[in-house]
Amino acid sequence: MMTVSHDPAPRLVLASASPRRRELLAQIGVTPDDLRPADIDETPRRAELPRAYCRRMASEKAAAVSCGAGELLLAADTTVAVGRRILGKPADADEARAFLRMLSGRRHRVITAIALRRASQSWERDVVTSVRMKRLSETEIEGYVATGDWQGKAGGYAIQGPASAFIPWISGSFSAVVGLPLAETANLLMAAGYPVWKGAR
């Protein structure tokens, strides 16, 4: 059971440059006090499973960024998995096409892990969402790749962008697929002593 800290509210540091994560935090009235993107090696280990990989990435991002006294650090990672295979961010348009062909007409998992760090304390959580992509034609794949929306997106697509037309069904957290599971993030922030809702401070 989580214990709620009654210390003064910390400054929130987001270890990410993702505008999507900032937009999601804004939905629950949270604006980071500082942005300190983590720079780490995101190469999966040999035979590493997607969920373990995602949790490790979030944890390593949290560990890689400096966090001073009175600060709370929030890091996150989103991974797309087809079976045991990890689909990262496509290196180029050809890899984006390959990812979309692999996802076409089948279910896959989107895993988002979050890690919080404050002084010597840490909190971690991961959320797994099942997503089904409809069967895509080559015209649809080429049209989507031409938008450039796949760039910097795990799995080569973003559910909140043009690719939303490809996703008829999900089971789990929509916000986690976008990049941050809001219910779980809000709970962890409050457990760490950070008031989430506007007017709570």
CA distances from 81 to 99, 108, 145 (A): 11, 6, 20
- Cα distance between residue 130 and residue 108, in whole Å: 6
CA atoms within 13 A on the CB side of 9: 15
* Three-state secondary structure call for residue 15: coil
Active site residue 94: no
Q: Closest by alpha carbon to 116, among 178, 42, 187, 165?
A: 187
Q: Give me the catalytic one of 33, 34, 77, 149.
A: 77
Q: Closest by alpha carbon to 150, among 78, 80, 89, 98?
A: 89
16 strand-pairing partners: none
* Three-state secondary structure call for residue 87: strand
Catalytic residue positions?
A: 77
